[in-house]
Structure 1
């Protein structure tokens, strides 16, 4: 759904701030859009087996839609992928294999295996064109929900970027067909600890280079080093620039702050990857890029139940009581802070 915020908009001094909450999709992330299209086409082509390299959400979605289509599915994830996402893929009947190294290593294993065994590769980069096509539906729904009003900014969490590219293509098609008269600016938000697209943007470079540093970030869903396929990042960079948009990164603390602010202000629980757009907006406001009169849409790409760990500020052991009398001391202090 597209949700108009009130508390969050007030905190950020924005008049019109919307959340596109992709955590409400069937498997809890925007990846369901890609899989709905890509698996449908795989069935049309007579495929029997799918394979995907994933940081978690894509694998869960591929497993779900493959199960529905009565297809075998193999999901490759990096060692250390959040267990909640791994469990999702397993419960849908997928065969899950963990691959050592960064996500890029899983990507290359899946690519080679798909070619060797003739399996359909559902990896949500740019390998499968139908994957990107599915992401265009986010643009369609934004415009439909806003009665053809075009937002000034759409803020997007970005790894290698097919979601941003799909959005851009969707908006372009709407304009070409006379449904909208202008295009929004797109902003790509990355984790500071893995930000190849942002680095190229900030340095004024025309091409994105692979990320060769450590990728130890809680935003695992966008921790893509692009090793061996950095042209994907370059395509994303080009779309950001064509939209007259922006790219920036946020720290680990800012990622957690995004999760907490989104939850306490609007009651929306997002995984760290899905929430990065919130602090991205805050930093863009500070830079003067977003003004109070702008209409802004923030993509929330994944449900908080996907991530097994709470932010440090919320990692609290609840008290244990026996009866209402035992609640007295707690109730007294609770009322003082309410």
Structure 2
């Protein structure tokens, strides 16, 4: 697909709907060995590695592809640092759509080859993730493509998709847990899960709202910094503050596209936000593999690190606590 000549829209409903290979309904696992190791009363892992491409991004990708197909688009476009690109390419392939992905040149993901194997056209961007999003949005506007980027006009589809995680947790536990810990980058997953719990509570399906807990790479995320420093709005970092590593890449950005929504979720739930170092994330990934047999993306353990910090500070009652984890794919 030549981006400069791409026309992304056909007749309404021209593309087929998503295949039966759907994301969601992932396992909620009791972490008894981690309970003993870290001193939790009851901890559960919402293991999103059970999704088709191994992460919760599949949920958003399939919903976005469904919407694009329904509205008659032929091409979806997005920027990615890894997981979302693979998820979008997979969902698009199963919806008879094409995918145009903008990828920051200096990032290191091993999943780039998966995107091309799934039929995506990948354009390397000489810049950071935020620059890749800008170029993707420009391509969508210029060529009539479906914009699947977070924080854009179709962002509500991603929020609704992530809200299903809340429903699945309640289906297993019977009520909302005391707290839900979610790693954060753009804030979309955190905000979507919180919105899902809001809908359940407002409809009388839960007796309470959970406390939202989150974490990201040490001093490299606007949501964490803005919350901890008490800013009224999600304040951008300076791009020079961002330094990518193979561990922290899924978490870092100088602008969080759904940062305001994530901050609202943290504040409305009496939440907590914490930093996590690469060393701590790698250590906790090893812990989960050794104690629970879970192969997880190290960056996703930032949420477990934050929850453990709350426990050490005496802020966790003897109750149910959930950590959302992403699977690790080579």
TM-score (norm 2): 0.87
Establish whether residue 140 from structure 1 lines up as the match of residue 164 from structure 2.
no
Q: Secondary structure at the match of 2:324?
A: strand
Residue in 1 that maps onto 2:133: 107
In 1, the alpha carbon distance for the partners of 2:193 and 2:133 equals 23
Deviation at 1:221, TM superposition (A): 1.2
Residue in 2 that maps onto 1:269: 295
Deviation at 1:20, TM superposition (A): 0.3
Deviation at 1:264, TM superposition (A): 1.0
Kept in 2: contact 1:103–1:223 (CA 8 A) = no
Residue in 1 that maps onto 2:19: none
Kept in 2: contact 1:102–1:225 (CA 8 A) = no
Residue in 2 that maps onto 1:220: 249
Deviation at 1:203, TM superposition (A): 1.1
Residue in 2 that maps onto 1:320: none
Q: How many residues align?
A: 300
Residue in 2 that maps onto 1:162: 188
In 1, the alpha carbon distance for the partners of 2:299 and 2:116 equals 22
Unaligned residue ranges in structure 1 (runs of 5+):
307-338
Q: Secondary structure at the match of 1:84?
A: coil
In 2, the alpha carbon distance for the partners of 1:201 and 1:19 equals 25
Residue in 2 that maps onto 1:31: 57
Kept in 2: contact 1:124–1:132 (CA 8 A) = no
Unaligned residue ranges in structure 2 (runs of 5+):
1-26
In 1, the alpha carbon distance for the partners of 2:213 and 2:73 equals 36
Query: More displaced, 16-25 or 99-108?
Result: 99-108
**Which is helix-richer, 1 or 2?**
1
In 2, the alpha carbon distance for the partners of 1:61 and 1:152 equals 30
Instruction: Return the match for 2:277 from 238, 242, 251.
Output: 251
Establish whether residue 305 from structure 1 lines up as the match of residue 324 from structure 2.
no
In 2, the alpha carbon distance for the partners of 1:274 and 1:97 equals 27
Residue in 1 that maps onto 2:8: none
Q: CA RMSD in A?
A: 1.5
In 2, the alpha carbon distance for the partners of 1:203 and 1:101 equals 28
> Which structure has the larger Rg over C-alpha atoms?
1
In 2, the alpha carbon distance for the partners of 1:159 and 1:13 equals 27
In 1, the alpha carbon distance for the partners of 2:68 and 2:201 equals 30
Deviation at 1:160, TM superposition (A): 1.5
Residue in 2 that maps onto 1:179: 205
Q: Secondary structure at the match of 1:174?
A: helix
- Deviations along 1:150-172, one digit per CA (max 9) or x if unpaired, are 21110000002010111111001
- Deviations along 1:198-238, one digit per CA (max 9) or x if unpaired, are 11111111111112112324221111211xxx563122111
TM-score (norm 1): 0.85
Kept in 1: contact 2:175–2:207 (CA 8 A) = no
